[in-house]
Amino acid sequence: MTSEVEAPPAPKPAPSVPDALVEAEDLTVEFGSQTALDNISFAIPPGLIVGLIGPSGCGKTTLIRALTGILSPTSGSVRVFGSDPQDFDTRQRMRFGYMPQMPILFPNLSVRANLNFVASLYGMPTFGRRKQLRQLLELVNLDEHRSKKLADCSGGMQRRLALAATLVHDPELLFLDEPTAGVDPILRERFWTHFRSLRDKGVSIIVPTQYVGEAGSCDAVAVMAHGRLIALQPTEKLARIAYDGDPLSVELDGWVSREELARLQALPHVRSVRHSDIGLTVVVEDEAASESVRQQLVSSGASVGEITPLEPSFDEIFFEIIERYDQRAESQS
């Protein structure tokens, strides 16, 4: 979790948000000589699913533990529901649910007994509890295993039960640390359908995830690297952030010389040019510049086919964001 390079100061990824549900200002967490979180600032409004993505060891779990009050900041501050989570009373703590990476349940109790115990801790009335617990077990595909001892369940089943336990008290804010790890793709999509339905009912969700493609199911995505938050943007704006403009896919019949590429690169609205499998990837200030790109290439004698907006995968987007940040860090070290 230690920063491997002397990284440049990252700009604060979001302006102040009125009535922010979750916010941090200059948040730093250190473990001895290791810096796990380095001067992080952000503000998140309510009613969103926010994905938290970054390389292993970048500080995602540490950030969640700071937001839930489990860890104390070395410096800076955290506020959830407008207050420091370390000062929460019992009523305030019941407003959020936290699913850690490692489930904390009782191996010698059955699946249903574990869920019933958690429900009793939250003071759930016994009237109607059986039906609600059954619905939760059906959601995580464990109802048929409700009598099985947890010790006899697979790791994936234990994570699914941990998710059900997190949802049992109907919290208005959820911190779900990799909730779909070890879950098959069909059940994973079922979970995300449920997360979106909770969001539509006003529940806010912050989700660190190891599956980059799940960013498409989020309203906004935070990207972390080296203990820093390097981007926090609506999902649809990530590609523009990654490529520093609008990437275009240019189909060519034949090869373009280095001199021709340099002339294309010199156009004022062109940010970058590089070869691709079908021709070129050209990043422009705005997609409206595609016709100027075509004219320049045609004037150079190139045979140009279709020019279309590039739709990179989320894996490509996050690679570009982190790669650009690392290059900037190295140039300033």
Q: Where are the domains of the chain?
A: 22-239, 245-332
Cα-Cα-Cα-Cα torsion 25, 28, 29, 34, nearest 10 degrees, comes to 160
With CA atoms as reference, report the closest residue to 295 among 332, 247, 260. Answer: 260
Kindly state the DSSP code that residue 123 receives in the 8-state scheme: T
Q: What is the mean pLDDT of each run of 10 residues along the chain (333 residues)?
A: 38 57 96 95 95 91 96 96 93 92 88 94 88 93 95 90 93 94 87 94 93 92 94 91 91 86 91 90 89 90 90 90 83 69
pTM of this prediction? 0.84
Round to whole Å and give the CA distance between 298 and 227.
46
Helix, coil or strand: residue 81: coil
Which phi and psi angles does 137 have, rounded to 5°?
-65, -35
* Six-digit token string for 56: 């292993």
User: Within a 10 A sphere around the Cβ of 65, how many other Cβ atoms?
Assistant: 19
Decide if 214 contacts 203 (C-beta within 8 A): no
CATH code at 22-239: 3.40.50.300
pLDDT of residue 1: 36
The contacts found for 141-150 with CB under 8 angstroms, 24 or more apart, are: 141/187, 141/190, 142/111, 145/111, 146/110, 146/111, 146/112, 147/110, 147/111, 147/112, 148/110, 148/111, 149/107, 149/108, 149/109, 149/110, 150/105, 150/106, 150/107, 150/108, 150/109, 150/110, 150/111, 150/114
Alpha-carbon separation of residue 190 from 18, 183, 231, 312, 315 (angstroms): 33, 10, 28, 25, 22
With CA atoms as reference, report the closest residue to 185 among 208, 156, 206, 164. Answer: 156
pLDDT of residue 330: 75
Bridging pattern class, strands 22-31 and 75-80: antiparallel
Cα-Cα-Cα-Cα torsion 90, 77, 318, 271, nearest 10 degrees, comes to 150
Round to whole Å and give the CA distance between 328 and 8.
7
Paired strand residues for 50: 206, 220
In the sheet that holds 304-309, the strands lie side by side as 270-275, 279-284, 246-252, 304-309
Cα maximum dimension of the chain: 78
Residue recorded with tokens 């506020």: 79
pLDDT of residue 218: 95
Residue recorded with tokens 């989320």: 314
pLDDT of residue 124: 86
Topology of domain 245-332 in CATH is Alpha-Beta Plaits (3.30.70)
Round to whole Å and give the CA distance between 289 and 287.
5
Alpha-carbon separation of residue 253 from 273, 280, 304, 306 (angstroms): 17, 11, 6, 10
pLDDT of residue 4: 36
Round to whole Å and give the CA distance between 12 and 219.
19
Q: Give DSSP secondary structure letters for 255-268.
A: ---HHHHHHHHTST
pLDDT of residue 151: 94
With CA atoms as reference, report the closest residue to 247 among 284, 278, 277. Answer: 284
pLDDT of residue 11: 41
Q: Decide whether 22-239 matches 245-332 in CATH topology.
A: no
pLDDT of residue 9: 44
